[in-house]
Amino acid sequence: MSINDSKIPFLSVKEIDVFRGATHVLYNVSLHVFQGEIVSLIGANGAGKSTTLRTISGLIRPQKGTISYTPQNGVHALHSLDVEDIVKAGIGHCPEGRGIFSQMSVYENLLMGAFLRKDTTAIAKDLGEICEMFPILSERADQPAGNLSGGEQMMLAMGRALMGRPNLLMLDEPSLGLAPLVVETIFKHLEGINKEGVTILLVEQNAIMALALSHRTYVLETGRVVMEGDSSDLADDENVRKAYLGG
């Protein structure tokens, strides 16, 4: 499968420096994602993975560097756009800890995913499709989202992100706190979503699953990209095995 046909990366993060308060968190981080790929960003706790995603989404501004997003309709300089505009451009972010609105119903959470959309019929159709993908959501449609189990919440978060019809879907540690079987199901869904044309940028502590799912991987260590390459190559690499795959 030749995903790297287009020369221009879908998402291009170039040499960003990010600070949280006075602390320097990301040093000269670069990564790119081509359309149709699944790229994963792995690393230990505190490496700066979440910060990277939050910077791409616009919640944090980089001190230096650029982030460009090049979908069908032009180039967007994400590093200077508002979060609202970044979302409008087609980037969905499934945040750390899922970030579901526990006091709103499952149905309302899904609607929040489509917050910026005006096409009501299409929204209704998408709701139906999401419920087909994750039947548990239609079962619990009117219950407060806080009642769902961890795995169900992850499905809700993914469904909610998909309701925005994103071109690029970013997920922050989807496996966090979930049982291995549940993680497998989630990752299978991600594979399916990717096959339907959604480009995925995945941040994970669970390196094994991330390397298995993604086409390419970046390794982040204390704010710096220390390795990058095809996931299959990295999975065989000595250093990566020792540091992240248990030898």
Taking the C-alpha atoms of residue 92 and residue 57, their distance in angstroms, rounded to an integer, is: 8
What is the strand order of the sheet 76-77 is part of? 23-33, 11-20, 64-69, 76-77
103 is a site residue for other proteins (CB under 8 A): yes
Taking the C-alpha atoms of residue 195 and residue 209, their distance in angstroms, rounded to an integer, is: 18
Could you tell me the smallest distance in angstroms from the CB atom of residue 69 to other proteins? 15
Residues 6+ positions from 169 with CB-CB distance below 8 Å: 92, 94, 161, 162, 193, 198, 199, 200, 201
Backbone angles phi, psi at 130, to 5 degrees: -60, -40
Residues 141-160 that bind other proteins (CB under 8 A): 160
Could you tell me the smallest distance in angstroms from the CB atom of residue 194 to other proteins? 20
Residues 181-220 as x/- pattern, contact with other proteins by CB under 8 A: ----------------------------------------
Q: Which stretch binds other proteins (CB under 8 A): 23-31, 39-47, 85-93, 125-133?
A: 85-93
Residues 6+ positions from 26 with CB-CB distance below 8 Å: 16, 17, 18, 48, 51, 52, 55, 62, 223, 224
Could you tell me the smallest distance in angstroms from the CB atom of residue 85 to other proteins? 9
Q: Which stretch binds other proteins (CB under 8 A): 7-15, 56-64, 205-213, 215-223?
A: 56-64
- Choose which of 90, 95, 159, 223 interacts with other proteins (CB under 8 A): 95
Query: Given the complex with other proteins, which of 59 and 136 has the nearer CB atom?
Result: 59
Interface contacts to other proteins, rule CB under 8 A:
57-59, 83-84, 87-88, 93, 95, 99, 101-104, 108, 111-113, 115-116, 160, 164
